[in-house]
Chains A and B, each alone.
Chain A
Amino acid sequence: MINNLLKEMPPSKSNLKGKPIFSMLLIIAIMCFCNSYIYAQAGNISGKVTGENGEGLPGVTVLIKGTTNGTATDASGNFSLSAPASGGTLVVSFVGYLTQELPIGNRTTINVALAPDAKALEEVVVVGYGTQRRESITGSVATVTSKDLERVHASTVGATLAGKLPGVSFRMPDGRPGASANVQIRNMGNPLFVIDGIQQDAGQFNNLAPNDIESITILKDASAAIYGSRGANGVVVVTTKRGKAGASRLNVDAYTGWQNWSRFPETVNAYEWMAGQADAEMNQNGRTNITPAELEKWRAGTEKGYQSFDWYDFIIKPNAPQTSINVNATGGTDKIRYYLSATRLAQQSVLGREFTFGRTNIQSNVDADITNKLKVGVQINGRIETRENPGVPGGDDYWAPRFALFRNRPTERPFANDNPAYVNDIGHNDTNWGVLNKTVSGYLNDNWRVMQMNFNGEYELPIKGLSVKGLYSYYLADHIVDIHEYTYDAYTYREATGEYERTGGSTNPYRERQTGKVYTTTAQGLLNYNNTFGKHTIGATLVAERLTRRETNIFVHAVPKTNVLPIIQFADVDTYNDSDNEQARMGYVGRFNYNFADKYFLEFGGRRDASWKFISDKRWGTFPYVSAGWQLTEEGFFKSLGINALTNLKLRASYGVSGDDDIGGLGAFDYIVGYSYPSGTTILDGNAVTGASTNRQVATTNISWFTRNQANVGLDYGLFNGKISGELDYFYFKRNGLTQTRYDVLVPSELGYALPPENLQSDAQMGGEASLAYNGTARGVEFSIGGNVSYSRHRFLESYKPRFANSWNNYRNSGEDRWTGIFWGLENAGQFQSQEEINNYPVNIDGQGNRTLLPGDLIYKDLNEDGKIDGYDERPIGFPRDRNPIVNFGLNFGASYKGFDFRADFSGGAGYSFLPENELRNPYQNGGQVAKVLYEDRWHREDPFNLDSPWVPGTYPALRFNQGGHSNNRQSDFWLINARYLRARTIEFGYALPAGLLQRVKIQRARIYLNGYNLFAIDNVHQFGVDPEVMDTNGLQYPQNKLVNLGVNLSF
């Protein structure tokens, strides 16, 4: 039957490519057919399978040995099947239990009680090139599994990790559909992603279907050295789900949700805008053309031409849908196991409904035991990823609508005479949302089509514990971006004549296509040895690996004659760029484990690795590591201490060296002297000549990778038989060999080239993590509470013979032995309370004798007491503003009672800065809007038209019209916020329908849930209306969404 299923699969697989929904339905149909077949079969053996507490075990595989005749137990643990005439043996197997074989004889009823398999219940952790029992792990390794990930309904995998793992820092500054989060391991930079054993890029990681992931393991310390020249920033190891021997299951996980922006800065209405302008002009010039009578009309807002327009309401459409459905089929026999899955995600944005993201994933993992000794497997995953939106002139199409919210004035209107047939010419129509739709301005389609295929085979050699394994993977990604921007007209309505006159618009027809392809191959050979001799357990792994990657890109641009057809004509083409880059890497890995009586653990190993990037004698590097663990609770002396509560205490330490060939300033082939081609175009004799540049005059032959020396100590603890558990870690990672040009030999600049850099500088990443989890049961309520906190900060150590022209220079610009990314600025010392105070103030604040200052303007500390404020008064005032937080933490709660379950996850960060600038600091930036907070809470005169009227204090300085250069706007701790936040990531209520009810409709499990994602945040940047993770200083990034969704989990 299961064989039948497999025979049925190939046609459905080919359909998956184009019509995912259809394919899913096909899978459902097949599975229903199979299931009904199971139940329809009459049998003469029946029975019940029970667990250790006598409860019925559903889904247990029951098989006649040596045949494909088998079945699975139902929800109550009952089974029945037809037995062969000759009797035979019944094999009863279930994950986490010891398999039992029972001779049938002539029995017709066989009840089986399965005993738990102590070994199988042990947590197995995926590490580099293999798996290990949690108990034997000696490195700093964190793991999250599907049951934690599936509650987070983010569109990309990285976004599901917030707060889940100690040592993983998180920031998601951009929340547009399909956006990825910045996820780093211990703030070390971009980690390496390894998916089912294959080194991959971040895009492939983020766009796996979250449902298909079994576990994610983070290698945080020297355990990453096994990945050699690419492991320096830690490794994220992903394993997709595999089929397990047992009953076939069809699972459906579907939800539909509604998204809204978590936050966005607010702006003022037309009356406030005009009043503010009058205020600003009086402040700046002492006069304004705006009259109180005119303002009164704006306030009333009834007269034509004096009505406020709310661009936010016009552009932002709340409750943007996000839906996802995953259907997977999993199961297998003792010989063959499969996991087949298809997922469709559709995400819209709040920007109208034309800015969308969609993704279809398929995953097909099949493992087969050809013989007792030979196993083969194949994992195939593919996806189609689509980003679509209106085509907008300029770079980022998501920028235009957000910029429009601040660029457009509330006194401007999108349509001439409010007639939607005529786009209004507002003079900056690139932000007129009346234009920004696919009908008027064109479209952008960005598509990825990706297929990865892994084939592997494993053979157990005649020597006990020794096996050999081979793996080959081919990955092909196809990326096409199509942009077509149309010409359009914008009008002015002439009221006197009632005519719409074309006064503007775009006559720029723009057509672009980028076609990129990525091809990677991975070939691996592994030799594995594992054996136990009494109390000694020995393991060894040897790997040889070769990796290639090739990226090709073609960019074509044309000026089409028409808006209506997408086909590019040669006659219209004006740009064709072609590029082709290849990479090759290879490595040899060795790892040896020793474990004595589960008490002492030792692991050492390393990798010898080579990268194409360097000249041949700098190519190879060796990356060794060693780690050890000591399980104190297994010691006799510990037991004699009688601390019964402490049931697990393991000390760990590791040290190793990993590397990175992605070093700044060095390109591939920098060791070759020659001419870069192409290098610009020059028109000679009327013809275009492609340039060749001689900038490669001196070869860079002395550079190799930098290395990261990683020292980590930690302990795992458990109290009350694991009811409370957690880990503590401290690490200090030093990087050597960062590139710098040697500066003790000063070559004249007239030489014409700089000396090549060398591997000279060093820096360090240091910090630690702690985690705590509690699991308990009280009055039938099972609950768990967990939390983790991590700290990781980057410090520059030393450069080669730094030089400073003077002591100020040394103070201000030195990085030697300092934290990096420190934000420098002036220290605010309050605000002027009166003009008199300004007139008498001894320090020149604005560089113009304080002529430009008004009450409410900022006073800065004259730290060097030279009577003027300038760069010499700047001091460190904040943390890095464009990195992940230095402190990351997470809190997780879970509870279940009978069919009900509840889950709440929180995460947060601190140790980073948010800098409000531009739109959030400068009113009327670009002549556009004013942030509401700057308007409402400002210093202003009681009567703005009377320069003698008294000042009313506020938090923010008096308004100026788009005067970004004012001394109030200098970088200071008045504006800079050392940010911190705690946000609710996931809050979920679920209810599983009673099994009895479901049995009648042949459903194994049904659960419905209500889930909220990013519902609220507690932070100290809310006054500006920005999301706490936003990075752009104008606050106009697409913030993360609040998502509320309703979902269902079904198993058949």
Chain B
Amino acid sequence: MKKYIFMLLAGLVVGNSGCNNDEFLDLEPKNILLEEDVWTDKTLVTSVLSNLYGRFPDFQSIEDWDNFTEFDEAFASNAGTYGNHRNADYGYGSWGMWEYGYIREINSFIQKCEAATELDPADKAQFLAEARFIRAGVYFEEVKRMGGVPLILEPLTYDFSGDPSYLRQPRAKEHEVYDFVISELEDLKGILPNEVSDKARATKGSALAMQARAALYAGSIAKYGTSTPQVSLPGGEVGIPADMATGYYQKALSAAQEIMTLGYSLYQKKPDLGENFASIFYDKNNPEAIWVEDFKLKTGKTNGFTIDNQPRYQSEEQQGGRLNPSLNLVQSFENLDNTFAPLPIMDASGNLIHYTNPADLFAGRDARLYGTVMLPGTQFKGKELDIWAGYMRPDGTIITSSNLGGQADINGDGTNEQVVGFSGPIDGLEFTAQTGFYLRKYLDPAAGSGQIGTRSEVWWIRYRYAEVLLNAAEAAFELGQPEVAAGYMNQVRVRAGLTEPLTAADITFDRIVNERRVELAFEGHQLFDMKRWRLAHVVWNGNRMTVSDLTTNIGKADKTSTMPFGLWPYKYLADPNNPSNTDWVFRIVLPNPVTTPDRFRLGNYYSQIGEDVINNNPLIVRQPNQ
């Protein structure tokens, strides 16, 4: 008996030290697909490709509300982001991108896909075309931010030889990157299917839309670069020769015109033009959208844009109110007679103008204003906004509260009344509408979109048909065809209620700039448009603004706009004994957290290339003016 026990225990020790150690230690990972699993299976290739789509970079998007407050389109009503209105200069590194990890993965995908033997040839061609489309898009995103970058089209691998110099590549010329993007897309438009209803994957339409925009960018850099000769490098890494402008504009125009034959059209489904404009961004049954980043409820791919920015008062969650569109933007929307004017809050003799409803102030304006901005006196999700700053007495004194929806005794009868909106504005109090406005564009009216447990499936439209029309208009204008330009622009404007057509004579550079400003606000265009027109250092010139700076020169391309202003509605208390007997007056304000004007320096036109990048590759030349 004892012998057996001894043997048993000894066996335990010995058995433990047996020869199957590696078997014991070699565990199988449960979350890693191997190469051979992937390249034989269409579904798994789609998985890899979907990840490449999913990481496509956007500087501003609905996944990142605060980037919209970097310029003058909006104020950030969020204490942690007030810094956007307090820093004098944009950092040279701002908006930079050097995404070669991502590019390597795309190149690697292309290489492996080409080598794959077990995929259906049609699938393989489609996968390759989509990957090349993503790559062209990424290089476009790179060149927009950085100028010329090394054009690497194959996955590089270091051989651990100790000498990595063979891996070094210099920056391409800026136009070479644009040329690469344009020629790739030229090639792809013949391969990719023309599927107007396919919005999330590359199609002929999205290839052409990207091509038109890229060519327009290259053309305007070539043309307007002459106004900032300092913003260039001798090797052409930054700056495009002026004589190339026409060729690019022609390409832009022809690509845009080709899209017009594919079956896309402006979204015009709703009779209320303001609501119609807002619907473009949340109605997915949509002939206008060309290429989008899609979201879907209950998939994990949802966004919190509505939660972040919904009106604080009627929010479904105690969340929202962060993006406050500026008065600077609001007043850029034209009157329906095609004129520009400040909002009429004061008559010629300096008396406040009274309105019975706060929304009346905005009557007779471009319908896109309603579709872009939530105005006081309008509704969201069927509920009236509660944006008002307090009661104003005839002597100009104000009764308000520093608490949301705060109450005070107005007429001294011992009864407290609400004296400020539940959405503010309260100066310096985050999440209130500190400019007097909230954002409507991309806000999701669906129930649940404002709940952190549900979120929103509103998509992010990267390319849409209205922009194509404006691209065509701009290219035609630059090519000396203002009547063609007017035709395209009027299509967009009619939809906004601006039924009085612009004539060829009306088409000016100012018009082109303002049309894009109001049509494409909060869609990620502003920075790159201002850069390519070389207007950024003019508009964001670091000068402090007064109210009169704000209200003059509206609609001018070079108008200074360095600080986001607001417009606060007050209930005017003519009879203190009867608080319900009120009408509305307005006051222009500069929110307290805005202390410093924005300044865009010449060195900001091309984002700084990191020291580490330059250290790692001595062939990389630095950006100018930094």
Contacts and interface: CB of A to CB of B under 8 A. Distances in A.
Nearest to A667: B29
B405 A749 contact: no
Interface string A126-140: 000000000000000
B224 interface: no
A269 to B, nearest CB: 15
A683 B301 contact: yes
Interface in A568-595: 573-575, 579-586, 588
Interface in B401-445: 402-409, 414-418, 422, 428-430
A1001 interface: no
Contacts of B12: 470, 523, 525
Given A580-B30, A677-B31, A965-B83, A683 B47 contact: no
A544 B20 CA distance: 14
Contacts of A683: 200, 294-296, 299, 301
Interface string A811-829: 0000000000000000000
Contacts of B38: 675, 692
B92 to A, nearest CB: 15
A688 B299 contact: yes
A616 B105 contact: no
Given A683-B200, A752-B105, A586 B21 contact: yes
A741 B82 CA distance: 37
A133 B155 CA distance: 63
B116 to A, nearest CB: 14
B405 A679 contact: no
Contacts of B2: 371, 373-374, 459
A692 B47 contact: yes
A322 interface: no
A688 B457 CA distance: 12
B86 interface: yes
Given A546-B16, A688-B300, A746-B615, A681 B164 contact: no
Contacts of B104: 697, 751-753
B592 interface: yes
B617 interface: yes
A678 B109 contact: no
B546 interface: no
Interface string A52-77: 00000000000000000000000000
B448 interface: yes
B210 to A, nearest CB: 18
A686 interface: yes
Contacts of B377: none
A309 B444 CA distance: 37
Nearest to B615: A746
A1007 interface: no
Interface stretch (A26-34, A425-433, A973-981, A1042-1050): A425-433
B117 interface: no
A781 interface: no
Contacts of A581: 30
Contacts of B313: 427, 503-504
Contacts of A669: 29, 32
Nearest to B156: A751
Contacts of A748: 156, 164, 167-169, 613, 616-617
B296 A750 contact: no
Nearest to A373: B2
B180 interface: no
Contacts of B30: 579-582
A458 to B, nearest CB: 8
A559 B454 contact: yes
Contacts of B26: 612, 616
A507 B451 contact: yes
Interface in A657-713: 668-669, 672-698
Contacts of B430: 926-927
B402 A277 contact: yes
Given A492-B418, A684-B50, A694-B51, A610 B405 contact: no
B192 to A, nearest CB: 14
A412 interface: yes
Interface string A503-525: 11011111100000000000111
A8 to B, nearest CB: 29
B100 interface: yes
B9 interface: yes
Given A750-B100, A752-B101, A610 B298 contact: no
Nearest to B617: A748
A443 B29 CA distance: 36
A429 B316 CA distance: 12
A38 B409 CA distance: 82
Nearest to B45: A692
A940 to B, nearest CB: 19
Nearest to B454: A559
A674 B156 CA distance: 17
Contacts of A492: 405, 418, 422
B592 A690 contact: no
B25 A616 contact: yes
A409 interface: yes
Interface string B65-85: 000000000000001001100
A612 B27 contact: yes
A948 interface: no
Interface in A274-302: 277, 284-285, 289
Interface string B162-188: 101001110000000000000000000
Nearest to A680: B54
A674 B33 contact: yes
A875 interface: no
Contacts of B317: 393, 506-508
Contact of A752 (B100, B402, B405, B422): B100
Nearest to A584: B25
Contacts of A1020: none
A361 interface: no
A750 B169 contact: yes
B319 to A, nearest CB: 8
A688 B298 CA distance: 9
A541 to B, nearest CB: 12
A586 B25 contact: yes
B35 interface: yes
Contact of B86 (A582, A668, A965): A965
A677 B34 contact: no
A557 interface: yes
B452 A508 contact: yes
A305 B407 contact: yes
Given A526-B13, A749-B98, A926 B35 contact: no
Contacts of B37: 674
Interface string A590-617: 0000000000000000000011100010
Nearest to B406: A411
B6 A749 contact: no
B528 interface: no
Contacts of B15: 525
B520 interface: no
29 contacts: A289-B400, A427-B405, A459-B6, A468-B9, A503-B313, A506-B317, A507-B317, A508-B452, A509-B453, A525-B14, A546-B24, A574-B300, A574-B454, A582-B30, A673-B35, A675-B48, A682-B51, A682-B294, A684-B46, A684-B53, A684-B201, A687-B296, A694-B51, A694-B105, A697-B105, A749-B98, A750-B152, A750-B167, A751-B164
Given A393-B317, A686-B294, A752-B101, 7 more contacts: A304-B414, A507-B448, A525-B12, A586-B16, A616-B22, A694-B105, A745-B162
User: 3 nearest interchain CB pairs?
Assistant: A752-B104, A427-B404, A691-B51
Interface of B: 2, 5-6, 8-10, 12-17, 21-22, 24-27, 29-35, 37-38, 44, 46-48, 50-51, 53-55, 79, 82-83, 86, 98, 100-105, 107-109, 150, 152, 155-158, 162, 164, 167-169, 198, 200-201, 294-301, 312-313, 315-318, 398, 400, 402-409, 414-418, 422, 428-430, 448, 450-454, 592, 610-613, 615-617
